[in-house]
Amino acid sequence: MTHYTANLRDIEFCLFDLLGRDSILGTSLYKEFDRETAMGMLEEVKRMAENDLAASFVEGDRKGVDFNKATGDIKVPESFKKSYRAYMDGEWWRVDAPVELGGTAVPPSVRWAMAEMVLGSNPSVHIYASGTSFAQVAYYLGTDKQKKIAKHMVEKDWGATMQLTEPDAGSDVGAGRSKAVQQPDGTWHITGTKRFITSGDSDLNENIIHYVLARPEGAGPGTKGLSLFLVPKFMFDFETGALGKRNGVYVTNVEHKMGLNVSATCEMNLGEKEPAVGYLLGEVHQGIAQMFKVIEFARMMVGTKAIATLSAGYQQALAYAKVRVQGGDMKVMNDKASPRVTIINHPDVRRSLMVQKSYSEGMRALVLYTASIQDAIAIARSENDDERIGDLEALNDLLLPIVKGYGSEKSWVLLGTESLQTFGGSGFTQDWPLEQYVRDAKIDTLYEGTTAIQGLDFFFRKIIKDKGRAIGLLAKEINTFATSGGALAEEKLLLGKALEDVNAIMGTLVGFAMESQNNSAEIYKAGLQTSRLLMSVGETIIGWLLLRQADIAIEKSANPGRDADFYAGKIAAAKFFIRTVLPHLAAERIIVEAENGSIMEIAETAF
Contacts of 187 (CB under 8 A, 6+ apart): 277, 278, 279
Q: Please give the positions annotated as active site.
A: 448
CA–CA distance, 335 with 107 (Å, rounded to integer): 58
Strands 243-246 and 234-236: antiparallel
287 within 8 A of 190, measured Cβ to Cβ: no
- With H, G, I as helix, E, B as strand and everything else as coil, classify residue 521: helix
* Pair 605, 389: CB distance under 8 Å: no
Q: How far apart are CA 375 and CA 389, in angstroms?
A: 11
The answer to whether 252 and 197 are in contact (CB under 8 A) is no
Complete DSSP assignment for 360-422: HHHHHHHHHHHHHHHHHHHHHHHTT-HHHHHHHHHHHHHHHHIIIIIHHHHHHHHIIIIIHHH
Triad 550, 553, 558: Cα angle to 5°:
140
First to last CA, the chain: 49
DSSP-based three-state secondary structure for 188: strand
* Beta strands 159-163; 73-75: pairing state: unpaired
Q: d(Cα 418, Cα 289) in Å, to the nearest integer?
A: 39
Handedness of CA 268, 442, 449, 260 (dihedral sign): positive
Q: Is 239 exposed, middle or buried (0-12, 13-18, 19+ CB in 10 A)?
A: exposed
Pairwise CA distance, residues 281 & 143, whole Å: 7
Give one DSSP letter per residue of 36-66, joined into a string: HHHHHHHHHHHHHIIIIIGGGHHHHHHH--E
Picking from 441, 433, 452, 449, the residue whose alpha carbon sits closest to that of residue 412 is 441
- Measured in degrees and rounded to the nearest 5, phi and psi for residue 220 equal -75, 175
**Segment (H or E) for 580:** helix 564-580
Cβ contacts of 392 within 8 Å, gap of 6 or more: 373, 376, 377, 380
Q: Distance between CA atoms of 582 and 536, rounded to whole angstroms? A: 9
DSSP string, 59-113: HHHHH--EEETTTTEEE--HHHHHHHHHHHHTTGGGGTS-GGGT-----HHHHHH
What is the maximum alpha-carbon separation in the chain? Answer: 88
Sequence-distant (6+) residues with CB within 8 A of 127 are: 198, 199, 263, 301
DSSP-based three-state secondary structure for 211:
strand
Whole-angstrom distance, CA of residue 350 vs CA of residue 113: 28
Q: Bridge-partner residues for 225, per DSSP?
A: none
